[in-house]
Amino acid sequence: MSPASRATVALALMIGFYVLAIGSGVGLLAIAWFAVTMKSAATAKLAFLSAVAGGTVLLSLRPRRDKFEPPGPRLLKEAQPDLFAVIEDVARAANQEMPVEVYAIPDVNAWVSTRGGVLGVGGRRVMGLGIPLLHLLTVDQLKAVLAHEFGHYGGGDTRVGRLVYHTRLGLGRTLEAVDGKAVAALFNLYGRLVMRVSSSVARHQEFAADAFAARATSGRDLADSLQKLDRHGALFPLFLASNMQPVIEEGYWAPIGTGFSAFCAAPIFNNVTAEPAASADGEEIVASDTTYDSHPPTDTRVAALAALGEAPARVGDGRVAGALLRQSNQIEFELYKPRPSTVATLTYVPWEDVTFKVLVPRWQRIARERADILKQVRVESPPTSSKDIIQLGRSAGGQKMRMMDQSEVMYQVIFAIACGVTTRLMERGWTPIASPSLFCDFVRGEERIDPMRRIAEIGHGAVPVDEWAAFCAKEKLSGPLAV
């Protein structure tokens, strides 16, 4: 599908919506007028309902100002010369104009848009660059991603996207306005058509932008970046919840980008293959409908890039793209700081110091605070089923834990047990290894163990408790985790 064809389809969808909306609105008002002229009590209700429905549809079409809210701090060339040098280099290779505004965004993502003008025509180019994305990709991979985004400009996709955006926005407002009225079925039907067709157009846009990027930079680098995002992109919320949130709760602040990069480098998160999910009774869950997906599957895109052939050899830049940023900690704080925290309320700590300055005191504190639970747990025989863990939390965790849902009780109890275990191990000379990973290895001499992972696996029934019991016997660890 050519750029002209995609634009034609998007314009046709928009025109179709307005023809449908104006036609149905005017038609309903005509029905109301006809019913009034009948001067019959029997048609009075029809006249009222038709007038309300028609007026509602037409009012939903009134123009509204498209206000642009900056998605994050704006990045300026003067403050970020290295990053802008890369963007300019890709713009030249892609034969595209530079974006007028570049913003740091908090997602593992990059996007381009056209703001202002009329439906994107005559507007200014805007780009968003995710801070965690920069720390996940190399400079070469970032160049390929940027070339892909410039490909959307080159293919006119941002203008097409604005047409589709306004069509969907108008449909959404109309559907909200006519919710519960008979005419809503008509707009629901057209809405499904718009979603199906526009999603198909969007998938064509992605393939075209991929090919554009492969010509301007490297298809191999783009394929590598797509696979890396597919494997690690969804880990960012987990990193924030499991690593950053505890640091913030303890009154500290650590660099997010470098922490996320190290987090993703943990062996547990590599070579992960997605398997079909299963329900509680063991039956496979049917995959969700992908009819309305705007992006093709990653493996399909990678295969299409491979079919384009290899790019000419060149000198690569394997640096982490986050190295291009200056004052990155200030940008991250502006993006992620917990409201209403200020710089003065949080103490900066590098990740290599987080384990000893933040996590060890936290584990020890939680072990003390959860003593009522830990009194019921023997170090050599932690609970091995969700039923036992939930019952333990409900009975010994106090009123607050009794109000939690089962998954939260599971997390709180398992984490409390893990904190008790790590505290006992440290008392016996085991030392945690500094790491921003979800789990933390402990060492003593040549020996090595990951107690938090082990307790979690036992608690979820993933591994038997026998090996842990044997380890505790060797270490002469026994008895309740708290007294």
Residue 37 host element (H or E) = helix 3-37
Per-residue pLDDT, 342: 59
- 169-194 b/e with 16+ CB inside 10 Å = b? ebbebbeebbeebebbebbeebbeeb
pLDDT bracket for residue 282 (50, 70, 90): very low
- DSSP secondary structure of 58-85: HHTTS----PPPP-SPEE-TTT-HHHHH
Question: How does pLDDT run across 452-467, given as a tens digit for each residue?
Answer: 989 999 999 888 999 9
User: Which one, of 152, 143, 106, lies nearest residue 225 by Cα?
Assistant: 143
Contacts of 331 (CB under 8 A, 6+ apart): 73, 75, 104, 131, 325
Instruction: Give the Cα separation of 372 and 377 in Å (integer).
Output: 10
Both tokens of 74, joined, read: 């704006």
Both tokens of 63, joined, read: 């123009």
Given a cut of 90, whether residue 279 has pLDDT beyond it is no
Given a cut of 60, whether residue 32 has pLDDT beyond it is yes
Residue 129 phi, psi (nearest 5): -125, 120
Global pTM value: 0.76
284 secondary structure, DSSP code: B
Per-residue pLDDT, 268: 67
pLDDT bracket for residue 56 (50, 70, 90): confident
Percentage of residues in the chain having pLDDT higher than 70: 79
pLDDT bracket for residue 207 (50, 70, 90): confident
pLDDT bracket for residue 24 (50, 70, 90): confident
Per-residue pLDDT, 276: 41
Side chain identity at residue 169, one-letter code = L
pLDDT bracket for residue 375 (50, 70, 90): very high
Per-residue pLDDT, 277: 40
Per-residue pLDDT, 286: 42
Instruction: Give the Cα separation of 218 and 315 in Å (integer).
Output: 12
Side chain identity at residue 166, one-letter code = H
Instruction: Give the Cα separation of 119 and 165 in Å (integer).
Output: 9
* The pairing of beta strand 252-253 with beta strand 431-432: unpaired
Instruction: Give the Cα separation of 51 and 334 in Å (integer).
Output: 50
User: Which one, of 77, 210, 238, lies nearest residue 147 by Cα?
Assistant: 210
Per-residue pLDDT, 284: 41
Residue pair 54/28 in contact (Cβ under 8 Å)? The answer is yes
Question: How does pLDDT run across 142-153, given as a tens digit for each residue?
Answer: 999 999 999 888
Per-residue pLDDT, 206: 84
Given a cut of 90, whether residue 13 has pLDDT beyond it is no
Both tokens of 208, joined, read: 């075209």
Tell me the β-bridge partners of 125. Answer: 114
